[in-house]
Amino acid sequence: MTKSGWALMLGPGGPVGTAWLIGLAAGLREAGVEPADAELIAGTSAGAIAGAAITAGRDLAELAELPPPSGPPPPVDGSVMARAFELGRDPDLAPDEVRRRIGKLALDAGGLPAERHRQSMRFLVGTDDWPDARLLITTVDVETGEPVVWDASSGAPLSYAVAASSAAPGFAEPVAIAGRRYMDGAFGGSYEHLAEDAGTVIVMEPLPHMPEGAGDVRIVPDEAALEAFGGNVGDRSRWAPVYRQGLRQAPEAAGRIRAALAARR
């Protein structure tokens, strides 16, 4: 990718954050800014789902609401994520060791069966084929703690990479790909370096964790959107209203993106 291109970086945020990102992307399309025109899209967790749906050409309006659940609710242990965040704050642990310990938590906790989670991701993305567009999806190897980035050359079906990137400990089991298991890419740390060759970097984060100043344009939920998020980003019942909040924020975001791209010309 040359410095004249632009990159779209999509951050994590659970099912609620996914709804906001998809609504925002749908609204950008309506406003004349096509997210899939980015020369690079990098997604983590919720961002992986949205990035795959965008680049696969999914009709995002079809995702304004989720279909009713087809089975009993999966076992969820929210305390696992709390323990994971505690590990991340331990100053005596190296990053790889933190991720290895979180990986063990993920393996021990269980959660939504990996195949059921993958099928849900297959529905949201709409295909198992990687797009022609350059799409990067971040994950973490649960045993080594190593961040792993997937793309079209990796050999894994798209839904597997997306499911692995969004497999939050305690909420979904780690996803097996080619004999190894992977968990939520949000634990891999900053992914800003993936766009270091881009001319313009657009960051869309449901739960801002990248430092202030990251990207040329940084789009985050406003006060009304955060109110719609509620206190639990795993609450799928909030999908439709949060999608609409992303849609509402899109015209203003489109103007900022157009201005940033025009400034580079």
Kindly report the backbone phi and psi dihedral angles of residue 168, in degrees, each rounded to the nearest multiple of 5, phi listed first: -75, 130
CA distances from 29 to 10, 35, 42, 55, 250 (A): 16, 7, 18, 12, 9
Q: Give the active site residue among 165, 166, 184, 216.
A: 184
Q: Mark whether 184 is an active-site residue.
A: yes
Q: Give the active site residue among 37, 45, 216, 237.
A: 45
- CB-CB contact of 201 with 7 (8 Å): yes
**Which tokens hold the place of 46?**
């919720």
Q: Mark whether 132 is an active-site residue.
A: no
State how far the Cα of 87 lies from the Cα of 84, in Å rounded to an integer: 5
For every residue of 30-99, DSSP letters joined together read: HTT--GGGSSEEEEETHHHHHHHHHHTT--GGGGSSPPPPSSSPPP--HHHHHHHHHHHT-TTS-HHHHH
Number of CB atoms found within 10 A of residue 28's CB: 27
Q: Which residues are catalytic?
A: 45, 184
